[in-house]
Structure 1
Amino acid sequence: MQRRKFIGSASIAGIITAMLPGSLVASNQESSNHLLDAKKPNDRAYWTGMLYRMMNPVFSNLANGTLVKNMPFEVSPSYDGRKNVTYLEAVGRAAAGMAPWLALPDDDTKEGQMRKDLKAKFLKGIANGVDPSNPDYLNFTKEYQPIVDAAYLAHAFLRAPKALWEPLDDTTKKRVVKEFKALRTRKPWNNNWQLFTAITEAFLLEIGEEWDKEAVDRALNKFKDWYVGDGWYSDGPNFSFDYYNSFVIHPMLVDTLKVLSDHGKVPVADYELALKRMLRYVVHLERMISPEGTYPVIGRSITYRNGAFQALAQVALIKKLPEDISPAQVRSALTAVKKNIFQKGTFDKNDWLTLGFCGHHPDVADYYSSTGSMYMASLSFLPLGLPADDEFWTSDPEEWTSKKAWSGKSFKKDYHVDY
């Protein structure tokens, strides 16, 4: 894009207690005690607790009309000064990551209470965010950055239409559509930004609105040209070795093509080829996770943290993992990554994300980075959209590829592909 060991000393029970609204704390206190037993690891409880902690400040404040008032505005030392874009950044990026979780059916479990709470706050918050009279009216019309973060909001609606789009009242829906169409006054940059326009327009097509076919076709044709092979796309005319294939390219390209193919606008084969390439890319991504649960700190936007694993998380969510990568090893690897990333300093005292990587160090942030930018970290939580009884969560922990390799165990050899 142009613009842009925490848990070590704290118990999961204490974290969940600190995060939940008062009415939910008591009901979660007793049930979370079992999480303190190291012999009974509960990865899903860790993931849900962490995601709720990350999401709650954003959507509690948006629902109350206090996001602009209360969200910190921390910036990179070289920040370019566009404060009015940071709030939509937080909302869109956070929504895209939590959407599959909120799409699960309502239930009376402790986790279900967290989901219900966040979903209500999201729905009320979006109504506020597109209401011109509300103090939290989000900026879709000024600067270029809203092209990016409206796309993440559109992606959230596509990921959870029955939970996040259909319950909105008619006035709010019309206002969202108006804001999305207002983005057409600006053109995306000649790189991954092409897909932000494409997925927003694909969402408009999905809900029966007039859509910009020419803009979508332009994006798709560019990425046909920008495919460099072996599961990797160039981010524009020149290749960059970073995580934008996961932050943006594979997830948005695949989901845009899914909508278009479902509506008969492109051949199903186009979607299937894009998905096939994403599956190849996630083989690389999974192998980048070290035996210790770290990964290479490469490329720009490294402060988006574990959002770097969105593509792997999405493939797990849609149950399309390559045959030699099991759900349990993905869960185990991503849990290890999260426990390395969410160290002391990753959240401030009010649970807002800070600028940094594993901790707080704004000097590594890019010139387009501010507090709202950091919510890309939500994107590796997509497998929470799988129910608690899915094998992704119930299988025994497994070693991931590099952990097997570096401990002298058998692992599958890797070869390039030609598609």
Structure 2
Amino acid sequence: MKKYIFLGCALLALNLPGAFAQKNKKGTIAKPAQAAGLLDRALWVKALYKIAYPVVHNLAQGTLKKNMPLEQGANYNLVVTDVTYLEAVGRTAAGIAPWLELPDDNTEEGLLRAKMRKEFQQGLKNAADPANPDYLNFQKQAQPIVDAAYLAHAFLRAPKALWEPLDSITKQRYIQDFKSLRNRNGAYNNWLVFAGLTEGFLRYIGEDYDPARVDFALNKMKEWYAGDSWYKDGDLFSMDYYNSYVIHPMLTDLVRILLEKRPGKMHVTEADYDLVLRRMVRHSEFLERIIAPDGTYPAFGRSVTYRTAAFQVLGQVALMQKLPSYILPAQVRCGLTAVIENMFEGNQNFDANGWLVLGFNGHQPMIADVYTSTGSLYMATLGFLPLGLPADNPFWTGAPADWTSKKAWSGQPVKKDYKVEY
């Protein structure tokens, strides 16, 4: 790809001094393979920061509701002011959490990360304060069931960066907000996992929780498993990206935290966790294979306006360092870098003030679903989870490698794909 031809093009990645592109975090000169990985990482950081900044910065200033646009599709059927702001905050939080959880350092990236973490901690305090202009709604409508779960997922992904630093009053406000969701039901599909994860978080921090919501989520997902890593989204199968947007990451993390807090009424075993993890790893194989040689991927199914969230499972498996042995971390990095370049190196997905616009790769409001508004779009951050791996991890330091479809279309050897039985 063109960025590998000349290392000086790292300057486009963060508008930072060239030292960032050519030195590792210990300050020593990077080898060529490492330098290529640092270029990729800089591009990822630039894109994630560009996406998240309007939400994080405005929330910290108490101006999110004042400044965030309320774009929605023609058939939108929710009360947008009741739901879109929590959507933006919860979804942004879940995507940037692993990156914010990294320890501080004095690199340009580290300073940028520390700045965003500090602003987001202030923003989370504002969002829970009834006296703040950006106080978020958890009490009205069913939609907050969804986005409370993304916020809870962020707290689980970055407890030291996002949950533990909150003052006791703010923590109690979120706890009560999460508990307030119990007076509503959501859709009879992946929404069960949302409710289960939020209750699982409450259990994780030692609060009263509703075991019925947790059990219902676990049992229905077992029932809805269709095979070869695909879960049905309710009674019928849907060919879309919801296995990656929601089901695998939240289900796997729910079982994990139940195991970690084993005392109590929840009956999950190591075998249960091993099963959901193996299914998620298998699903990551599909996602790696759908990245075309040119870094595009199919825009099928509902909610394609969530853009790079389609690769949450692949990113989470990489973050957990659980990729199948035949998939090199570097080939995942390179494939996803190509996707991120296509999506976010231009301005086609942003308005004049830097907010995401309705669409897949451009302003395409005709493909917005009836529940999609500006805040919904910040699910795109979920495609950036591997930024939670430090810069000296093999994901970033490995030599550039072709991903599966690029190998296949150029006549290179590729592993035969076949279904799994678990």
By the TM > 0.5 criterion, same fold?
yes
Residue 325 of structure 1 is matched in structure 2 by: 327
Offset at 1:283? 1.0
Q: 2:41 aligns with which of 44, 47, 63?
A: 44
Taking the aligned partners of 1:209 and 1:269, their CA distance within structure 2 comes to: 26
Residue 55 of structure 1 is matched in structure 2 by: 52
Offset at 1:409? 0.6
Q: Secondary structure at the match of 2:405?
A: helix
Q: State whether residues 96 and 381 of structure 2, in contact with CA within 8 Å, keep that contact through their aligned partners in structure 1.
A: yes
Q: State whether residues 241 and 310 of structure 2, in contact with CA within 8 Å, keep that contact through their aligned partners in structure 1.
A: yes
Residue 209 of structure 1 is matched in structure 2 by: 207
Does residue 399 in structure 1 map to residue 397 in structure 2?
no
Q: Please give the per-residue CA displacement for 1:132-181, whole angstroms capped at 9, x wherever unaligned.
A: 11110001110111000010000000001011100000010000101010
Taking the aligned partners of 2:12 and 2:408, their CA distance within structure 1 comes to: 36
Runs of 4+ in 1 over 6 A off after TM superposition: none
Q: State whether residues 12 and 49 of structure 1, in contact with CA within 8 Å, keep that contact through their aligned partners in structure 2.
A: no
Structure 2: unaligned runs, 5 residues or longer:
4-8, 24-31
Q: Please give the per-residue CA displacement for 1:307-348, whole angstroms capped at 9, x wherever unaligned.
A: 000000000000000111110000001011111122432011
Q: 2:159 aligns with which of 150, 161, 180?
A: 161
TM-score (structure 2 length as normaliser): 0.91
Distance 1:414 1:156, change over 3 A: same
Q: State whether residues 407 and 414 of structure 2, in contact with CA within 8 Å, keep that contact through their aligned partners in structure 1.
A: yes
Taking the aligned partners of 1:368 and 1:72, their CA distance within structure 2 comes to: 16
Taking the aligned partners of 1:121 and 1:71, their CA distance within structure 2 comes to: 17
Distance 1:299 1:150, change over 3 A: same
Taking the aligned partners of 1:113 and 1:410, their CA distance within structure 2 comes to: 42
Offset at 1:260? 0.7
Distance 1:14 1:280, change over 3 A: closer
What amino acid does structure 1 have at the position aligned with 2:419?
H
What amino acid does structure 1 have at the position aligned with 2:343?
I
Residue 267 of structure 1 is matched in structure 2 by: 269
TM-score (structure 1 length as normaliser): 0.92
Q: 2:284 aligns with which of 269, 282, 285?
A: 282
Q: 1:375 aligns with which of 375, 378, 395?
A: 378
Taking the aligned partners of 1:409 and 1:309, their CA distance within structure 2 comes to: 24
What amino acid does structure 2 have at the position aligned with 1:285?
L
Q: State whether residues 141 and 179 of structure 1, in contact with CA within 8 Å, keep that contact through their aligned partners in structure 2.
A: yes
Q: Secondary structure at the match of 1:228?
A: strand
Q: State whether residues 13 and 43 of structure 2, in contact with CA within 8 Å, keep that contact through their aligned partners in structure 1.
A: no
Q: Secondary structure at the match of 1:354?
A: coil
Residue 302 of structure 1 is matched in structure 2 by: 304
Q: 1:82 aligns with which of 74, 79, 92?
A: 79
RMSD: 1.7
Q: Please give the per-residue CA displacement for 1:2-21, whole angstroms capped at 9, x wherever unaligned.
A: xxxxx9xxx7645635xxxx
Q: State whether residues 310 and 379 of structure 1, in contact with CA within 8 Å, keep that contact through their aligned partners in structure 2.
A: yes
Residues 16-415 of structure 1 correspond to what in structure 2 (within 5 A)?
16-17=14-15, 28-29=16-17, 31=19, 41=36, 42-83=39-80, 84-264=82-262, 265=266, 266-342=268-344, 343-415=346-418
Q: Please give the per-residue CA displacement for 1:245-289, whole angstroms capped at 9, x wherever unaligned.
A: 000000000000001111223111111100011111111111111
Q: In the comparison of the two structures, how many residue pairs are matched? A: 398
Taking the aligned partners of 2:237 and 2:78, their CA distance within structure 1 comes to: 28
Structure 1: unaligned runs, 5 residues or longer:
1-6, 18-27
What amino acid does structure 2 have at the position aligned with 1:156?
A
